[in-house]
């Protein structure tokens, strides 16, 4: 099986106006750090909340979730500010990233939590976020771009065409210039290939929907965290979709920056299968062909179903 070497610097760079994996070059790890590694809209905030609940073992946070768990590679603030905040943290750190595994530094004493979701659901959820985003924040992110960084392309108006472009995008470093063209399957595959490593753990959105309490216990096991039985019910309740939506001002990613017009709308519906009513035969055929041609069948089944795939 493949075994990556410990590396302070990743072999590839993923960069666009929204995020830049080179920002990880400034990061100094601590033993026990947690990296939450997910494609967009695959349960990132949910997993961050679960980690926060397990680390602090109380249902209410004192500060916004993004203060505890920043998105390090996001170009919403200078990297020096984010690193300074992380260095000042005294709790066990848990850091968000949307960077594939080959764009990440690898440390054997850090835990990587990769979360997957049916790519069709991930796309529908991601696509619905566009109208809720504040354009001013995107202009701010672009102000942090370096000379030579790729500029975003104009969005395609037709949703089905956007899906066709998205699902067939290669997901390679060279093609990462548009964050809207970073499909979920290549990202998940980059971690899937190393799932045999003891510090890389895969979780799935469907499993969290199906059995949140059980999956939270799996996360606790992966992190080596013990929780007293009387404490569990309150933590599980705080991680429910409805509870998180009610607390959206504290939990929506970077909400205090004004990135969302409505933080509650970030937690859209939290359901699966929305693509049935949106994508047509052409899109579904293209999806099936792309997944079959590019990825291991076992991974495809897991991406679509989670642990129910067997």
CA atoms within 13 A on the CB side of 298: 4
CB 115 within 8 A of CB 43: yes
Q: Is 98 a catalytic residue?
A: yes
Catalytic residue among 12, 98, 201, 276: 98
Q: In what order do the strands lie in the sheet with 111-116?
A: 94-97, 34-37, 111-116, 200-204
Largest CA distance in the chain: 54
The full length of the chain comes to 310
Cα distance between residue 24 and residue 10, in whole Å: 8
| DSSP letter for each residue of 138-149 | HHHHHHTPPTTP
- For residue 230 the two structure tokens come to 């009387």
Active site residues: 98
């Amino acid at each position: 099986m493949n075994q990556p070497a410990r590396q302070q610097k990743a072999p590839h760079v993923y960069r666009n106006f929204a995020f830049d994996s080179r920002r990880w070059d400034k990061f100094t790890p601590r033993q026990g750090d947690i990296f939450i590694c997910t494609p967009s809209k695959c349960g990132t905030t949910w997993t961050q909340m679960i980690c926060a609940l397990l680390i602090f073992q109380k249902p209410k946070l004192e500060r916004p979730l993004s203060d505890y768990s920043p998105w390090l590679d996001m170009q919403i603030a200078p990297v020096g500010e984010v690193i300074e905040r992380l260095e000042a943290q005294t709790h066990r750190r848990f850091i968000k990233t949307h960077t594939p595994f080959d764009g990440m530094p690898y440390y054997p004493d850090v835990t990587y939590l990769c979360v997957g979701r049916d790519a069709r659901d991930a796309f529908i959820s991601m696509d619905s976020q566009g109208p809720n985003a504040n354009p001013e924040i995107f202009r701010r992110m672009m102000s942090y771009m370096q000379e030579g960084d790729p500029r975003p392309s104009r969005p395609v108006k037709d949703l089905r065409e956007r899906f066709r472009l998205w699902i067939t995008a290669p997901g390679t470093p060279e093609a990462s210039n548009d964050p809207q063209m970073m499909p979920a399957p290549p990202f998940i595959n980059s971690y899937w290939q190393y799932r045999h490593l003891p510090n890389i753990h895969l979780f799935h959105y469907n499993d969290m929907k199906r059995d949140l309490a059980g999956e939270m216990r799996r996360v606790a096991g992966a992190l080596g965290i013990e929780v007293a039985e009387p404490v569990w019910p309150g933590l599980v309740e705080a991680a429910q979709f409805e509870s998180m939506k009610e607390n959206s001002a504290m939990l929506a990613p970077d909400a205090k920056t004004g990135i969302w017009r409505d933080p509650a709308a970030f937690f859209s519906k939290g359901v699966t299968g929305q693509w049935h009513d949106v994508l047509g035969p052409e899109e579904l055929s293209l999806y099936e062909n792309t997944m079959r041609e590019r990825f291991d069948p076992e991974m495809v089944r897991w991406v679509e179903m989670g642990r129910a795939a067997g």
